[in-house]
Chains A and B, each alone.
Chain A
Amino acid sequence: MNIFRMLGDLSHLISIFILLHKMQTSKSCSGVSFKSQVLYLVVYVFRYLDLFTNPFMSYYNTLMKIVFIASSAYTIYLMSTVFKPTHDPAIDTFKIEYLLGGSLVMALLFPPKWTFMEISWAFSIWLESVAILPQLFMVQRTGEAETITTHYIFALGAYRALYIPNWIWRYMFDKKAKLETIAVVAGLAQTLLYSDFFYIYWTKVMKGKKFQLP
């Protein structure tokens, strides 16, 4: 554990809190992509299958995995029941079949090992790297986003971005660490997908302006 990974995980927790807070206080999930949320649940379920099989890592790991799966399921529950009337499927139209298919192909072509668990882990890593696309696509369609929604997207993106210095740190100082090539490549790709958003967030939202596309 190093400072970058700790901040990354913290950022992930904060993103969950912001999203639930936004929905609860505004009694609405407008501007939030249901499709992205479904993809994140698929990501966590497939990645954390090892809760039931692999040797126990740490209380921290187990607790965080349960929090990520549970909060993701809860978000979907809220969006499909209480706040369903505030969701507009007409602007949430990204074709997620391609993301699911592409991630599966990548996982089948380059799994860390040829086992179901390792393929499902790789699938979840690739899928996570693109799971934000329906959300970003929705922001692009409407041309703007509520400030609180942009805080959510930023915190979620910062999680993987912070893992990049974490990997460099581990590579340099943690002799026991194995380099997870798939996670590193997918993490870099994910951060690249976010770069445009990060730029606008930094130049507009951080200066108190509304998130608006040029």
Chain B
Amino acid sequence: ENSLLRQVSSLLRRLPAVESGKFQDDFLMEYNDTLLVTYLAVLTNC
């Protein structure tokens, strides 16, 4: 079914959604911040 194939092709072209160094940096920074908050919470628990 050509219509479905075109839609699938269009969808697959969108992957990966974001691929850039800047995104990775921001993402890892958010990751680190959350892990830091978790660490502080565990310390508070102790």
* A and B co-occur in one complex: no
